[in-house]
Amino acid sequence: MQFKKSFLLGLAIGLLLIKSCTTPKKESATLIIYGGPIYTVDSVQAKVEAVATKDNKILFAGSLAEAEQYKTDQTKIIDLAGKTMTPGLIEGHGHFMGLGYNELNLDLMNTISYQEIVDAVAEKVKTAAPGEWITGRGWHQSKWTEIPEDTVHGFQTHYRLSEVSPDNPVYLSHASGHAGFANAKAMEIAGVEVLPKDGIDKLEVEGGEVMRDGLGRPTGIFNERAQSLIRKHIPESTPEKNAKAFELAVAACHRNGITGFHDAGIGRETIALYDQMKTEDKMKVRMYAMLTGWDKELLSEWYKKGPSVDPDHLVTIRSVKLNCDGALGSRGAWLLESYTDRPGHFGHETLPMEFVKETSLNGLQHGFQVCAHAIGDRANQEILDRYESAFTELSDLANDHRFRIEHAQHLHPDDIPRFAEFGVIPAMQAVHMSSDRPWAIDRLGEKRIKEGAYMWQALLQSGIPIVNGTDVPVEPLNPIASLYASVSRKTLKGTPDGGYEPEQKMTREQALRSYTLDAAYGAFEENIKGSITPGKLADFTIYSQDLMTVPEEELLNTEIAMTIFDGKVVYTKNE
């Protein structure tokens, strides 16, 4: 009897030992987050109680009880205390170094009159050495509360600016980046300050315009490619200034809950800078960079060596940015019919369409996504035509191209279904509608606005995702403003009641996806980020209130409370 008891006891112990050897030990979490609404943007479970991460990956998302099984003495705990968390937000179209330089140079984004620009420059002149260039960006004449007496085609003239800066060349970029404003000294350096002896036609620039008054004198406004007449004389930046602008841009992203950034057009210098920043462990934003289409030699080099998909998911280059027309505010967007407020003017084709077709074929052959800037309906139509032609010609390579049109702001109704038909992704910045719609109707007229401008819901219903963003520094980086515009179709002042063309509003779920999973899809990265899913990167944005349920009129009051990048807290408000 004693033997039987001993035998059974030994057998039980043995079975327990075998079970302990075969049952996998639960992994330990580096971080556990709980205590508030967590929206995953994952179709399997849209909302969870807790998230556990290990190093820079998501380990678990689900109930708090289950998450606590991953807890050890070394696990860091973050209690949301009622705040809300989503996947890390992705800026789907911006200009990273422009963001940084906007904080170094004159920031004119909030100016509401020409006089404020003049005053800002006059103040800068006080500390600038004679001959030193003064540069800035952000003015927008259609947003001013008062219009100057002397205007040409709705734009100010340079005389008041030149009076306060006689010894300093000044060049101030329009908020859109598609026009610029120069003073007399800058035009003198560029050789365009007076009427040329052999006629005013010498001031014409293909794909651009030097704006002139009735006597043929340059007004100081340089539209689209004509900007190069001035810009080529502005001294290049220094490595030290570039590094400072980079650091400021990273900090701005963290303050705004941005963990990923689609950089819309970079050249050699910026590529080298990003490589350096990654080497120095300063790349604290996941960069998806587009090669600038202006540098054909650069493109040729990259076609030969192929895309660079970073295994560390920090700096990936696998796309090309083409600038195909201008902006609506500067009347540079390329239209099928002339501008309502400037009859006979159709905007500008700033890049030959033959080059769009050539780049599309090269992109398909060498594995590069093509991202073409198009705001006007003609630009969008022409690009879709070139894409379609390339897809037909190289159909065996066009299965998962994910070509994009950046902005897709104004479409002919016939072209709306073509995005889904061809699999072309519209990267649309919702905040542009909020800022531009009050005056955009002057450019396009009511019929074109209602049938084809900012057509978010029509595109989504056709079956194609939208990549959202701000086009910073054209607009402030603030994603809350763009999310508010997405769901309200109102200006940031809350007008009009019901929103502009309310049938095109996004739902809150659609808007969040456009800043997370759909933005990741627009960069071939939906398998590594964009949702709170085990195995994906541990990037999160935490908000002061529940942006999915808070009343619309309170949505703009939402603040970024914390940003987590690569499993580490990189920003906490008020710290």
Q: Are residues 69 and 121 in the same domain?
A: no
206 and 120 in a single domain? The answer is yes
Cα dist from 132 to 168, 169, 173, 178, whole Å: 6, 7, 17, 24
Q: Do the domain assignments include residue 61?
A: yes
Q: Are strands 134-139 and 170-174 parallel, antiparallel or unpaired?
A: parallel
- Do 72 and 137 reside in the same domain of the chain? no
How far from the centroid of its chain's Cα atoms is residue 515's Cα? Answer: 10
CB-based burial label for 492 (10 Å; 0-12, 13-18, 19+): middle
The pLDDT of 398-409, averaged and rounded, is 97
CATH code, domain with 162: 3.10.310.70
Q: From 231, 266, 292, give the residue that closes a domain.
A: 231
CATH number of the domain encompassing residue 77:
2.30.40.10
Q: Which residues pair with 55 in a beta bridge?
A: none
Q: What is the pLDDT of residues 100-110, one digit of tens each?
A: 998 888 889 88
> Would residue 417 count as lying in a domain?
no
* Residue with the two structure tokens 């030959």: 352
In a domain, 265, yes or no: no
Domain's final residue, options 188, 206, 231:
231
Reduced to 3 states (helix: H, G, I; strand: E, B; else coil), residue 318 is strand
DSSP 45-97: -SEEEEEEEETTEEEEEE-HHHHGGG--TT-EEEE-TT-EEEEPEEEEEE-HH
* Residue 134 shares a structural domain with residue 185: yes
Cβ–Cβ under 8 Å, residues 370 and 404: yes
Of the candidates 408, 431, 425, 413, the one whose C-alpha atom is nearest the C-alpha of residue 465 is 425
| Domain match, 43 and 133 both | no
Whether 223 and 172 map to the same domain: the answer is: yes
pLDDT higher than 90, residue 147: no
Is pLDDT of 7 > 60? no
The pLDDT of residue 193: 64
Q: Which two tokens stand for residue 2?
A: 């004693």
Average pLDDT over residues 458-469: 98
Query: What is the percentage of the chain residues whose pLDDT exceeds 70?
Result: 94
Whether residues 64 and 144 fall in one domain: no
- Per-residue pLDDT of 155-194, as tens digits, reads 999 999 999 999 999 999 998 888 999 999 999 999 986 5
C-alpha to C-alpha distance for 82 and 517, rounded to whole angstroms: 24
Q: Provide the pLDDT for residue 379.
A: 98
> Does 538 map to a domain?
yes
Domain boundary pick from 231, 263, 284: 231
Residues 190, 113 share a domain: yes
Q: What whole-number distance in Å separates Cα of residue 126 and Cα of residue 322?
A: 39
> What are 492-544's pLDDT values in tens digits?
999 999 999 999 999 999 999 999 999 999 999 999 999 999 999 999 999 99
How many domains does the structure of the chain reveal? 2
Domain contains 319: no
Q: Looking at 16-30, 65-79, 290-304, which range is the least confident one?
A: 16-30
Taking CA atoms, 408 is separated from 446, 502, 565, in Å, by 18, 18, 30
What is the per-residue pLDDT for 575? 73
Domain encompassing residue 49: 25-88+530-575
Express each pLDDT in 222-255 by its tens digit.
998 899 999 999 988 889 989 999 999 999 999 9
Query: Cα(96)–Cα(270) distance, rounded to whole angstroms?
Result: 10
Distance CA 422, CA 416 (A): 11
Domain identity same for 123 and 221:
yes
Measured between alpha carbons, how far is 273 from 266 in angstroms, rounded to an integer? 11
Write down the residue that tokens 């620009």 correspond to: 117
**122 and 56 inside one domain:** no
Q: Are 483 and 431 in contact (CB under 8 A)?
A: no
Residue 288: is its pLDDT beyond 70? yes
CA dist 134 and 140 (Å) reads: 18
Tokens 């937000």 correspond to: 89
In a domain, 295, yes or no: no
Of all residues in the chain, the percent with pLDDT exceeding 90 is 83
Asked if residue 142 is part of any domain, the answer here is yes
Mean pLDDT along residues 379-405? 98
Beta bridge partners of 33: 51, 78
82 lies in the same domain as 166? no
Residues 127 and 41 in one domain: no
Would you say residue 341 has pLDDT above 70? yes
Residue 467, in any domain of the structure: no
pLDDT for 214 beyond 70: yes
